[in-house]
Structure 1
Amino acid sequence: MKSPAFEYLQAQDIADAMSAYDSAEGDAVYLSGGHSVVPSLALRLQAPALVIDISRISALSGISLEDGWLRIGAMTRHVQAMNDPLIAAHAPLFAAAAPFVAHPAIRNRGTLGGSLAHADPASEFPAAAVAMRAELEIVSPQGIRRVPADDFFKDIYETAIEPGEILQAIHVPCPVPGQMIGFDEIARRRGDYAMVGAAVQAVTTDGVADDVSIALFSVGDRPTRAVSAQAVLTGSPIDGAAIAEAQAALCDDLDPPDDPQFPAHMRLHLARVLLGRILTNLKVVA
């Protein structure tokens, strides 16, 4: 299919983009990397009067350390998330997740902010953001606010971004001593959407887990925090017995969709297998 006719505007800055959105009376869509918006236009899932290209706005770019947080501009490409040394050191779950995202051609153009704003429940970066307890910087005509990742993802393809607002940056708290991470997914083929995936961050002292953060994806309508599994692991060594208990606890955390070709009990089984694999192979990052 082909997209319906629309007007196109290359915004010069954020104020220009939001002014154009307001002038279109909301009948507009922002375009960054294009790997979510363009297919939806082609399939006529969206039919805006105006497409506002925000890809060249300088305020949406850049990666920097600020007061114990890594600030990542929303226009950061997937390939940058995979290769940038600051992201590798201070937002390691983004770096770990990036190789699983689609294929090189898409990673070269797709943006981190676009992936988070699109909020596909099978996407890797949203779960990584939740596991790292990132905060999302949203700009509107009224100012800037930061929303914790746990509160940012509302439903399938739905976030805390209100119409006309723009996701400007992602803030990730810098790693602390004893911090470990793990990321993996199960997919039919490399680059396919995951059947189930998980991002894990843990902090240990003398072999005991002080803090555990687990987010699974492709198991519900948004990244899913495994609260019960986290509680099992916190305060104990992450050993075989604790891992087995955490795997069992996933039945309290997950209510995956039932599909004739992929029943819920199978997705839950794969989530347990995957969590065990990740917890057994956690990598120290700080």
Structure 2
Amino acid sequence: MIPATFDYVRAGSIDEAVAALVEHGDEAKLLAGGHSLLPLMKLRLAAPEVIVDLGRVDELRGICEADGHIAIGAMTTHDAVTKDPLVQQHCGVLADVTKTVGDAQVRHRGTIGGAIAHGDAASDLPSLLLALDGTVVVQGPDGRRNIRAADLFVDYLETSIGEDEVVVEVRVPKLVGDWGWRYEKFGRVAQAWAIVGSCALVKRSDGTIEDARIGLTHMGTTPLRATATEAALRGASTDAIADAADQAAEGTSPPSDLNATPAFRGHLARVLTRRALTAAAG
């Protein structure tokens, strides 16, 4: 449980962090909260030669409202997200899901940018960002660019963020209208990674479901949308939830491990999606 030796760079700004990544290339890794990177290093599953610490980059912290969305600095902790009035008022589902991340220690140290950039399909926040149609802003040597959540997650622990890019902020839309939501996840023990999770957002209008968005956790190598269920619900009544939820696992390729077989994960996806939709639809 002792990591390999590495050099340490403490960045004082985003520009300094980018410069360090450019200088050291794929030998360098960014350190945010450390709850994803450090365990991998201790197990020798990752052995970066250079660690670039973002802990002193204050411009990466904070939450503000801008152009119809909520902008959250990448180094903002999970605990700060759950308690922020803007998040609670305009995107309450983000606060609710973030409360389920790890335990109090993890939430006080872990960061939203680190959790998203790690790209773990078993993590709670990537599937929520996908369901929200959120955006990640990154900065590299050529400036800043926006990456839609739909384009962000490429493969297992792989994202479209460049090796010389730093996540600057995470943007989520304000939920305008009669939205309800619920996140249901099943884990082996409390505070563990989700064996399967389902995050449902339902927009109601005149007694019907105007829009439905469902993000699935740990149902493939990347977070996924339950697109068949979403399509079946749009314009339908809440009576359609049970039948639509039965399609939640369509198009997925759930992994097999010590905790669950693919068939069991498919069953969980259907059950958890039905529960989440029922609660979200009120």
How far off is 1:101 after superposition?
Answer: 1.1
Aligned partner of 2:242 in structure 1 is: 244
Q: Which amino acid aligns with 2:274?
A: G
1:45-124 matches, cutoff 5 A: 45-124=45-124
Cα distance in 2 between the residues matched to 1:212 and 1:78 = 25
Cα distance in 1 between the residues matched to 2:123 and 2:93 = 13
How far off is 1:260 after superposition?
Answer: 6.4
Aligned partner of 1:23 in structure 2 is: 23
Q: Is the Cα–Cα contact under 8 Å of residues 248 and 273 in structure 2 kept in the other structure?
A: no
Cα distance in 2 between the residues matched to 1:225 and 1:25 = 33
Cα distance in 2 between the residues matched to 1:171 and 1:261 = 33
1:187-226 matches, cutoff 5 A: 187-226=187-226
Percent pairwise identity: 35
Aligned partner of 1:263 in structure 2 is: 261
Q: Which amino acid aligns with 2:268?
A: L
Aligned partner of 2:252 in structure 1 is: 254
Report Cα offsets for 1:45-76 as digits up to 9, x if no partner: 22222111012212211100001110001111
How far off is 1:214 after superposition?
Answer: 0.7
SS in 2 for 1:204: strand
Aligned partner of 1:232 in structure 2 is: 232
TM-score w.r.t. the length of structure 2 is 0.95
Aligned partner of 1:162 in structure 2 is: 162
Q: Is the Cα–Cα contact under 8 Å of residues 182 and 283 in structure 1 kept in the other structure?
A: no
Which ranges of structure 2 fall in alignment gaps of 5 or more residues? none
Distance 1:54 1:263, change over 3 A: same
Report Cα offsets for 1:105-132 as digits up to 9, x if no partner: 1111000110000011100011111111
Report Cα offsets for 1:83-108 as digits up to 9, x if no partner: 21211222222211122211111111
Which ranges of structure 1 fall in alignment gaps of 5 or more residues? none
Cα distance in 2 between the residues matched to 1:111 and 1:223 = 18
SS in 2 for 1:147: strand
Equivalent residues, number:
282
Q: Is the Cα–Cα contact under 8 Å of residues 209 and 238 in structure 1 kept in the other structure?
A: yes
Q: Is the Cα–Cα contact under 8 Å of residues 229 and 253 in structure 1 kept in the other structure?
A: no
Cα distance in 2 between the residues matched to 1:89 and 1:19 = 37
Report Cα offsets for 1:214-269 as digits up to 9, x if no partner: 11001111111111000000011223xx1121122124232322346522111111
